[in-house]
Amino acid sequence: MIDHVSVYVDDLAAARAFYSQALAPLGYAVLMEFPGALGLGVAPKPDLWVIAGGARPGGQHVALRASGRAAVRAFHQAALAAGGKDNGPPGVRAQYHPSYFGAFVLDPSGNNLEACCHEPYLE
């Protein structure tokens, strides 16, 4: 299951106006903002990130929802074994929210693949 996707844009202000309007009929709204990034989605969490910086051929980000922290760790290990490059080991990413646990791996083309879960630590 896809957890979230990032889209890179040249003009964040123009993109904010466009995405806010274009996706409103689908129930999407800006739910989070960081310098240089907007998180849109249907409450309670964003699933579409719009990020300043222009198009990034071979550098897109896709996150897949994992069933728990053990699955995130297993993803990271398997991806490295398959030839991926570490782009962030399994761990809490409290800057997103206190229970966010993810791991990042660059695929052979340089795309950032992530596995993450949002549940409080139960394992």
Residue 70's SS3 state is helix
Whether residue 39 lies inside any domain: the answer is yes
Using CA atoms, how far apart are residues 92 and 35, in angstroms rounded to an integer? 21
Distances from the Cα of 94 to the Cαs of 26, 40, 77, 84, 98, in angstroms? 29, 19, 22, 24, 5
Over residues 81-100, mean pLDDT: 94
Cis peptide before 44 (omega within 30 of 0): yes
Q: State residue 33's pLDDT score.
A: 96
The pLDDT-based confidence of 20 (bands split at 50, 70, 90) is very high
Instruction: State what percent of residues in the chain have pLDDT above 90.
Output: 69
Q: Are residues 74 and 112 in the same domain?
A: yes
Please tell me the pTM assigned to this model.
Answer: 0.77
Torsion sign (Cα): 19, 21, 25, 31: positive
Domain extent at residue 110:
61-117
The pLDDT-based confidence of 109 (bands split at 50, 70, 90) is confident
Q: Are residues 67 and 111 in the same domain?
A: yes
Q: 35 pLDDT exceeds 90? A: yes
Q: State residue 46's pLDDT score.
A: 95
Using CA atoms, how far apart are residues 119 and 3, in angstroms rounded to an integer? 13
Whether residue 123 lies inside any domain: the answer is no
Q: Are residues 14 and 34 in the same domain?
A: yes
Q: State residue 59's pLDDT score.
A: 74
Among 8, 19, 67, 60, residue whose Cα is nearest residue 41: 19
Q: Are residues 42 and 71 in the same domain?
A: no
Using CA atoms, how far apart are residues 27 and 41, in angstroms rounded to an integer? 8
The pLDDT-based confidence of 36 (bands split at 50, 70, 90) is very high
Q: State residue 1's pLDDT score.
A: 76
